[in-house]
Amino acid sequence: MKQCRAILVVRSVVVLGLVSAGLSRSAISQTPQAEEPAGTSSSHDNLLAAALFAPMLPDAPGISSTTAASTKPQIAARHKVETTVSLGGSPQLTATRIENGEAGGFMTQSLDPSPNLVTTFRQSFRPWLGYSVNIGYTRATEHNTNDAGAQSEGTRSNFYVPNNVWELSLSHVAQVHITHRLTGFTDEGAGFLAFQPAKRGSTATIPTVGGCCTVAGTNFRPLIVFGTGVDYHFNPQWALRAEYRGLLYKFADYGQNLPKLITITSEPTVSLTYTFGKHTYKF
């Protein structure tokens, strides 16, 4: 019985609302007003129906859900994390260092030019915050001379060691999207170089004073890496990277207590880059 009474009360309220709305509408139509565009009366009816029935039908589709959605606060979009991997090549160009020797002459240390391969995994969280992991390889020969030109090759004063040179470094990356196709960046970081003698397996013989020779193994050198470059995007996934990479370190001495002169290796590198996921810009 209580449910029946409640239903009768609701129906009465609805009828009274519709009657009052009709009276109000007829009174408004009798007053002179400017012509309304087509479809205005139907929009008034929709608003009136929403006002009358929304309190009684909170779950009605298109009414309460729309109003609730309009009242929700807007959430700012998060910055897209850009993840790329690249593979490139470059010439390995190392500056020859010269230093005055103890006997009045001078000594030199150099690394022959050679082709170099480098692969990079990079992630950018913000334009100013990103990192890259770099792995490089080249096969180059290091020359060491003391009182250059006065001693014959094959002595401690003039010897060379062919090496497999490995690079492993971690860099901080800052980048800026210049256009939707062009991205500029800089990076700086640290790591190490491994000079692995390759003349006889992973070792090499180095002349010693008053004897034949000693066997030298892999020599590790701390490394500072820096560079700058640009990415040109062909499409959302593929890009061409052109950059200058600089490596600052000391020459290997292979445990022979040789002077370890500081040098810089320049690597003008061109790489093919793949971007994971969707690109920030549309092409």
Q: What are phi and psi of 64, to 5 degrees?
A: -70, -35
Q: How many CA atoms lie within 13 A of 146 on its CB side?
A: 13
- Lowest pLDDT segment from 142-156, 163-177, 242-256, 259-273: 142-156
The CA-based diameter of the chain, rounded to the nearest angstrom, is: 123
What is the C-alpha separation between 46 and 50, in angstroms, rounded?
A: 6
Contact 82, 123 (CB under 8 A): yes
Query: pLDDT (tens digit, 9 = 90+) per residue, 175-226?
Result: 999 998 999 999 999 999 999 988 766 777 777 666 667 777 889 999 999 9
What is the C-alpha separation between 80 and 244, in angstroms, rounded?
A: 26
Query: pLDDT (tens digit, 9 = 90+) per residue, 86-115?
Result: 999 999 999 999 887 665 567 889 999 999
Contact 148, 108 (CB under 8 A): yes
What is the C-alpha separation between 249 and 247, in angstroms, rounded?
A: 7
Give the global pTM. 0.66
